[in-house]
Amino acid sequence: MILLGILAASKSSAAVGVAGYVAGGRYGSRTTTVDKFTFPSDSRTTLGTGLSSSREESTGMSNSGVAGYVAGGDEGSRTSTVDKFAFPGDSRTTLGTGLSTATLRPAGLSNSGVAGYTAGGSDGSEVDTVDKFTFPSDSRTTLGTGLSSARNSAAGFSDSGVAGYVAGGYDGSRLATVDKFAFPGDSRTTLGTGLSGSRNSAAGFSDSGVAGYVAGGYDGSRISTVDKFAFASDSRTTLGTGLSGNRNSATGFSDSGVAGYVAGGSDGSDIDTVDKFAFPSDSRTTLGTGLSSARSYPAGFQDAI
């Protein structure tokens, strides 16, 4: 009964999704830019205050109605910095306690109202570390049980109130593995069915209470594949319509109950494309207004469950 209540709350909250954000990334050089896409029109503005430094290869976490976070990445060297954007004004502060180590290419997970997580990445070699930031204090702990193997460039998605997932990545070879962290205890299992193929540098997004998605990535070449994991069975299907083009190093954000988005990335060149997948049909359109500049390796977060 508690689980059903959580799912019902997630779905009702989806109706009041506010905006999705795409932060930092690289187009020739690293950027501090944070683009904001207001729901449901998907109109784009660019925040007057961007990241605290130019960086790429970061990840995003979200606490809907409260704040979004951009964690780790590369600013010329690896960083442990975590920037926080307070909703609705989008004012930025930087947490006094960052990641437990300077890390690039981690995956981000969110249990909105409870905690945000960064999983894996590289601190010079691949790591299995999972850092947890408890809301609203933003105090950091590190889980006793990390990923099932050290990896970077994995995709993260979440079923808020239920579980977070870390999919694919690179640990010396590409992975199809999907690890699941059950909220609130953070116990880890590994799904019997992983991705439809081994890949790294994919984007993750979620329709909380319904399904999580892993989009694009690199499996030896760039791909347009979108895998869908139905909650609560975690059964996997692959969408008949993938991304509008083959790409890796994009980011995802969501307006749960409405649509998921895949923004930026590289198709051989950095791109400004934003693809939108309407829930529940998963039909794909491409926004007429993309990012304010083409970029790869941005971070995504949202003010929506």
d(CA 290, CA 287): 6
Q: What average pLDDT does this structure show over 221-238?
A: 98
Domain spans, the chain: 2-303
Residue 154 and residue 164 in contact, taking contact as beta carbons nearer than 8 Å: no
Q: According to the CATH classification, is domain 2-303 in 2.120.10.80? A: yes
The residue type of 253 is F
The alpha helices in 103-230, defined as continuous H runs, are none
List, in order, residues 6 or more apart from 300 with CB less than 8 Å away: 20, 21, 22, 23, 60, 203, 205, 251, 252, 253, 261, 263
d(CA 138, CA 140): 6
Q: Cβ–Cβ contacts within 10 Å for residue 147, how many?
A: 26
> Token match 């059903």: residue?
4
Percent of the chain scoring above 70 in pLDDT: 95
Percent of the chain scoring above 90 in pLDDT: 94
Q: What pLDDT, in 10s, does the model give residues 50-98?
A: 999 999 999 999 999 999 999 999 999 999 999 999 999 999 999 999 9
- The closest alpha carbon to 302, from 48, 139, 88, belongs to 88
CA torsion 158→159→163→169, rounded to 10°? -30
Q: What pLDDT, in 10s, does the model give residues 103-120?
A: 999 999 999 999 999 999
Residue 240 in this model has a pLDDT that exceeds 80:
yes
d(CA 142, CA 232): 26
Residue 6 in this model has a pLDDT that exceeds 90:
no
30-40: string of b/e by CB count within 10 Å (b at 16+)? bbbbbbbbebe
pLDDT of residue 236: 98
- 3-class secondary structure, 7: helix
d(CA 213, CA 226): 7
Q: What average pLDDT does this structure show over 246-265?
A: 97
DSSP string covering 237-275: EE-SS--SS-BBS-EEEEETTTEEEEE--BSSSB---EE
Residue 201 in this model has a pLDDT that exceeds 70:
yes
Q: Cβ–Cβ contacts within 10 Å for residue 90, how many?
A: 18
Confidence of residue 33 (pLDDT cuts 50, 70, 90): very high
Q: What pLDDT, in 10s, does the model give residues 122-163?
A: 999 999 999 999 999 999 999 999 999 999 999 999 999 999
Whether the predicted model's global pTM rises above the 0.75 cut: yes
